[in-house]
């Protein structure tokens, strides 16, 4: 049995009462007989509030979710080279007031996403549309680049290098077989919303991946499934990145980067 002084971990985000993270970690603590440890949800309206969270002397680590994966970086003491190159942090380790940022979303997404790539006979021609322009999309873009899959990011507003949703048409969907939703659109309780796409042009040749995991099957995924597309949500990614978070928090050596 692991016996520790009172320790708190938690999740930083906005509108995240739906999150499975607290349940996941509390069950893990119970299953592995880890006592005197709690996991809290820090639902804050703006990133500046994170300073008050960090004042808690019992807080030893946090996960970070939408929309603060990028904006939390200025509040950290240091950041790993990989997280810095991505520009997104989803794990913070706290040791003697030193706050170090990591990115375990990379491993979580890469592992869960590429399992289904074997479905495609000709992987060389695969291209992806990445929906969203926040910290999550930065991580997804990093992995796609690593996997040598050309991609195009889509935003609600016109930005250099970005498409807007109105640009997505039949021709584009014929060219881009992978569609990845990095936005919170469709998350509980707003389950009747989905990214604006011409779903009528989706086919069995498409792969729709939604980082949203609550509900289990978003409207984005349901629309694609009706057209025969391969679909997957972000729950496996969540579990993988959470386990990697725990490894970081419990490994004292990894703090020295």
Q: Please say whether the structural domain 106-236 has been given the CATH code 3.20.20.70.
A: no
Q: Where along the chain do its domains lie?
A: 2-103+242-255, 106-236
Work out the average pLDDT over 180-184: 96
* Residues with catalytic function: 69
Q: 106-236: same fold as 2-103+242-255?
A: yes
Do residues 229 and 254 lie in contact, with contact meaning Cβ atoms separated by under 8 Å? no
pLDDT, position 55? 95
Neighbour tally for 6: CB within 10 Å: 10
- Dist. CA 249–CA 61, nearest whole Å: 6
Distance of CA 131 to the CA centre of its chain: 13
Do residues 235 and 209 lie in contact, with contact meaning Cβ atoms separated by under 8 Å? no
- In the CATH hierarchy, which fold is given to the domain comprising 2-103+242-255? Rossmann fold (3.40.50)
CA distances from 43 to 2, 11, 17, 69, 228 (A): 29, 8, 7, 14, 37
The residues pairing with 232 across neighbouring beta strands, listed in sequence order, are 209
pLDDT band for position 3 (cuts 50, 70, 90): very low
Q: In sequence order, which residues have a C-beta less than 8 Å from that of residue 111 and are 6 or more positions away?
A: 236, 237, 240
pLDDT in tens, 95-147: 988 999 999 999 999 999 998 998 886 777 899 999 998 889 999 999 999 99
CA distances from 142 to 59, 108, 135, 202, 231 (A): 30, 13, 11, 25, 21
């Amino acid at each position: 049995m692991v016996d520790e002084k009172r320790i708190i971990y938690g999740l930083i985000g906005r509108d995240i009462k739906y999150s499975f993270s607290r349940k996941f970690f509390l069950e893990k603590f119970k299953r592995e007989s880890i006592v005197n440890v709690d996991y809290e949800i820090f639902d804050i309206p703006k990133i500046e509030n994170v300073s008050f969270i960090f004042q808690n002397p019992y807080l030893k680590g946090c996960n970070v979710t939408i929309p603060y994966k990028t904006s939390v970086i200025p509040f950290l003491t240091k950041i790993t080279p990989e997280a810095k190159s991505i520009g997104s942090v989803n794990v913070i380790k706290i040791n003697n007031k030193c706050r170090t940022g990591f990115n375990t979303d990379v491993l979580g997404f890469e592992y869960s996403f590429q399992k289904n790539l074997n479905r495609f006979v000709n992987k060389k021609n695969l291209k992806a549309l990445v929906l969203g322009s926040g910290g999550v999309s930065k991580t997804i873009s990093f992995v796609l680049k690593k996997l040598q899959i050309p991609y195009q990011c889509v935003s609600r507003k016109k930005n250099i290098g970005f498409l807007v949703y109105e640009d997505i048409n039949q021709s584009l969907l014929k060219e881009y077989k992978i569609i990845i939703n990095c936005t919170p659109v469709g998350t509980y309780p707003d389950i009747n919303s989905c990214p604006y796409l011409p779903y009528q042009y989706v086919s069995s040749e498409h792969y729709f991946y939604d980082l949203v995991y609550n509900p289990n099957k978003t409207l984005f995924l349901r629309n694609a499934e009706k057209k025969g597309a391969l679909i997957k949500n972000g729950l496996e990614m969540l579990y993988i990145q959470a386990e990697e978070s725990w490894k970081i928090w419990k490994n004292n050596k990894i703090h020295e980067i």
